[in-house]
């Protein structure tokens, strides 16, 4: 389920498991589980309940109250999608937006990517305690560069840090260098 929600179902282990099940069933179960976990980040008891249920080799739909939590979270996501739409900036190769809503940056950046039609997307949030922006980046199948490596290179050049996977990565960028980071990323993705 994690492989599906992290877009890694074609990797060696997952690619051997996914075909053994109905894909729609797996997508429903994995998305519901992901929403349950995301909605319950401050509810340790429910998170333990999730682990206990799965450890008994049961499905996410067997988690008592889980689908109701996932449904409420889906409504929250739908409302957030509407609110962020206006703040998306589209450049040549990347779309970006500030992360101003109470959803995970991963979810927000995936929405920006999907709605932009660009090869890559990023969201960023300023963290005052470190005087830097925390950035989340995703790439579509049209993105022809390894985003993790590229992000590491650019962030390091600008006094920050970053890295990750081919199509999913993150960075920490000093406060006064965000615009440089965005322009460099846009240019070097192209």
Each residue's pLDDT tens digit, 75-88:
988 888 888 888 99
Range(s) of the domain holding residue 13: 2-81
Residues 152 and 118 in one domain: yes
Residues 98 and 67 in one domain: no
Quote the mean pLDDT of the chain. Answer: 92
Q: Give residue 9's pLDDT.
A: 84
pTM value?
0.74
- Calculate mean pLDDT across residues 143-151: 96
Which one, of 32, 34, 3, 7, lies nearest residue 168 by Cα?
A: 7
Residues 96 and 68 in one domain: no
Distance CA 174, CA 190 (A): 24
Q: Give residue 116's pLDDT.
A: 92
Which of 29, 58, 81 lies at the terminal end of a domain, its last residue?
81
Which of 81, 115, 138 lies at the terminal end of a domain, its last residue?
81
Which of 24, 54, 81 lies at the terminal end of a domain, its last residue?
81
Each residue's pLDDT tens digit, 91-108:
999 999 998 887 878 888
Each residue's pLDDT tens digit, 107-142:
889 889 998 999 999 999 999 999 999 999 999 999
In terms of phi and psi (left: phi > 0; alpha: psi -120 to 50; beta: otherwise), the region of 159 is left
Residues 99 and 180 in one domain: yes
């Amino acid at each position: 389920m994690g492989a599906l929600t992290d877009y890694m179902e074609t990797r060696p282990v997952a690619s051997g498991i996914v075909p053994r099940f109905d894909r729609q069933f797996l997508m429903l179960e994995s998305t519901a589980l992901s929403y349950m976990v995301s909605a319950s980040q401050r509810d340790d008891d429910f998170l333990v309940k999730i682990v206990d249920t799965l450890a008994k080799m049961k499905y996410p739909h067997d988690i008592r109250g889980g689908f109701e939590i996932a449904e409420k979270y889906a409504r929250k996501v739908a409302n957030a999608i509407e609110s962020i739409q206006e703040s998306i900036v589209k450049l040549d190769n990347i779309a970006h937006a500030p992360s101003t809503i109470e959803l995970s940056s991963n979810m927000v950046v995936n929405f920006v990517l999907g709605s932009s039609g660009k090869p890559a997307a990023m969201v960023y949030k300023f963290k005052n305690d470190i005087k830097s922006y925390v950035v989340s980046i995703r790439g579509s199948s049209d993105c022809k560069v390894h985003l993790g490596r590229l992000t590491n290179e650019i962030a390091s050049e600008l006094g920050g840090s970053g890295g990750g996977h081919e199509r999913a990565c993150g960075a920490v960028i000093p406060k006064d260098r965000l615009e440089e980071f965005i322009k460099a990323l846009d240019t070097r993705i192209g």
